[in-house]
Amino acid sequence: MAKSILIYENGDADKMQIHDVEVGEPGPGQVRIKQTAIGLNFIDVYTRGGLYPTPLPNAVGREAAGVITAVGKRVRGFKKGDRVAYCGVLGAYCEERVMGIEQLVPIPKGVSDEQAAAIMLKGMTVEYLIDQCAKPWLKKGDIILFHAAAGGVGLLFGQWAQARGYKVIGTTSSPEKAALAKKNGYKWVIDYTKENIVERVKEITKGKGVPVVFDGVGKDTWMASLDSLQPRGLMASFGNASGPVEPVAIGILNTKGSLFLTRPSLGGYAATRKDLEASAKSLFGMVKSGKVKVAIDQKYPLAEAAQAHRDLESRKTTGQTILVP
């Protein structure tokens, strides 16, 4: 038996309850993993609450690291004792699990379990956003805009973008978060609870606007993001921390300057095993080279997952957060 956080109906953080579950033996193509660290992501809040519908009761958590403790038949490339990490497989809030190897990657030397669990999902998101999705819009020295700069994706994004030669404007909600963002690659930080985003962006870019906005905040920043763009700029709307963007009449992309709009997801960019491996390799390479540093700002025991969700939703966390089984 192992502890697992399950939810039997969507709702607030209290719907997450810890249970003892039978783990069992791995079948063909599967391994059993004893988890050492679990990543907390804002998407866990969406699946818990029902914004992103998922099957119950294994509906929360999709990222973790651990050690393989048993291997089923027809498994190639992984053996007992290997340190591994994954993202994109629901039901990650548990001590131990049996799962297929499709989403598993080995954790390289020089990267800790805690770091791997914290950054697989967020770091591969940063990889595809900067190096794939927005790449055709960007050249070295460009000024770009990223919302929620002191968050989990945000701190990785600032460092990665800086390493690629872009200058980043970040937005945050407090002076403490602004200071943290500045230590993680952001050249300018706007307090979007007090300052006007569009005016500040225009001031920094000398009236030009930015070629790309990366917007994981959603509803509250949608219009300011469009108004911060240069003509023919790209709006990469990749999340909904403040709530989903309302339905849009596409004519707005014309009137705001022949803009491009994308609503990308990691699932779409790491859709094949080849893409997943390439993205993970790039991410771990950035960490091992020291270009992207990974600090764990919050750790909660697995049993306190509900508190971790409350803190994430009320903007109390910064950077990376893990649950410890």
Which residues here bind ligand NAP, judged by CB under 6 A? 41-43, 121-122, 125, 148, 150-154, 172-173, 177, 216-217, 220, 238-242, 264-266, 312-313, 315, 317
* Pair of tokens at residue 263: 């609503």
Task: Count Cβ atoms within 10 A of the Cβ of residue 177 and give its class: 0-12 exposed, 13-18 middle, 19 or more buried.
Answer: buried
**Minimum distance, C-beta of residue 7 to ligand NAP, in the bound complex (Å):** 18
CA distances from 146 to 59, 182, 235, 275 (A): 29, 13, 11, 24
Q: Which is nearer to ligand NAP, 23 or 40 (CB)?
A: 40
Give the nearest residue (CB) to ligand NAP. 151
User: How are beta strands 296-301 and 260-262 bridged, if at all?
Assistant: unpaired
* Diameter over CA atoms, the chain: 62
**Minimum distance, C-beta of residue 195 to ligand NAP, in the bound complex (Å):** 13
Q: Which is nearer to ligand NAP, 68 or 129 (CB)?
A: 129
**Minimum distance, C-beta of residue 79 to ligand NAP, in the bound complex (Å):** 30
Q: Which is nearer to ligand NAP, 23 or 149 (CB)?
A: 149
**Minimum distance, C-beta of residue 324 to ligand NAP, in the bound complex (Å):** 18
Nearby residues of 260 by Cβ (< 8 Å), 6 or more positions away: 137, 232, 233, 234, 235, 253
CA distances from 204 to 115, 150, 155, 208, 209 (A): 34, 20, 21, 9, 8
Which of 170, 68, 64 is CA-nearest to residue 121?
A: 64
Three-point CA angle 246, 249, 255, nearest 5°: 120
Q: Which is nearer to ligand NAP, 68 or 120 (CB)?
A: 120
Q: Which is nearer to ligand NAP, 4 or 317 (CB)?
A: 317
Task: Count Cβ atoms within 10 A of the Cβ of residue 41 and give its class: 0-12 exposed, 13-18 middle, 19 or more buried.
Answer: buried
CA distances from 110 to 42, 166, 176, 320 (A): 27, 27, 30, 18
Q: Is the dihedral of CA 102, 293, 155, 213 positive or negative?
A: negative
**Minimum distance, C-beta of residue 317 to ligand NAP, in the bound complex (Å):** 6
Q: Which is nearer to ligand NAP, 67 or 278 (CB)?
A: 278
Neighbouring CB atoms inside 10 A of 176's CB total: 11
**Minimum distance, C-beta of residue 153 to ligand NAP, in the bound complex (Å):** 4
Q: Which is nearer to ligand NAP, 173 or 282 (CB)?
A: 173
Q: Which is nearer to ligand NAP, 255 or 262 (CB)?
A: 262
**Minimum distance, C-beta of residue 265 to ligand NAP, in the bound complex (Å):** 4
**Minimum distance, C-beta of residue 75 to ligand NAP, in the bound complex (Å):** 28
DSSP state letter for 324: E
